[in-house]
Amino acid sequence: MRKTINKFALIAISIVGIGLFTAANVNDLVKPTGEWVAPKTADNIKNPLAGDANATKAGKKIYNQMCAVCHGNKGKGDGIAGMAIKPRPTNFTLKKVQDQSDGAIFWKLTKGRAPMASYKKTLSETKRWQLVNYIRQMKK
């Protein structure tokens, strides 16, 4: 059993490394210097899929494939690969995350900030909005 867990951890950490390596532009990843705040202009970006249940369902699939390994199955920042990352992955269930605009969350998914990869080129705009919708469901 321990050998299986170690193999899973190695695979998870490899996925994170690949995600960072394949980031749209590694120079877009900035060194974390405290609270990650999107620019005020991001609040003006409107979610074209807001309230779309099918988009939220699609976002869950993407999340489980790409995000859960660091952010955890329930979005609490407790995924197996996230345990080795500094700063720790965001807990999407927190009020400070849920109080952000959809545009701010979309901006963060798009831009990235080390160790979080940019998903500008990895995921289409539609898929990033689907993720925003799913992250919104985590407040429940």
Helices first, then strands: H and E counts in the chain? 6, 0
**Burial of 53 from C-beta contacts in 10 A (0-12 / 13-18 / 19+):** exposed
Positions of the chain with pLDDT under 70: 1-33, 140
59-99 pLDDT, tens digit each: 999 999 999 999 999 999 999 999 999 999 999 999 999 99
pTM higher than 0.85: no
Domains in the chain, CATH or no CATH each:
2-137 (1.10.760.10)
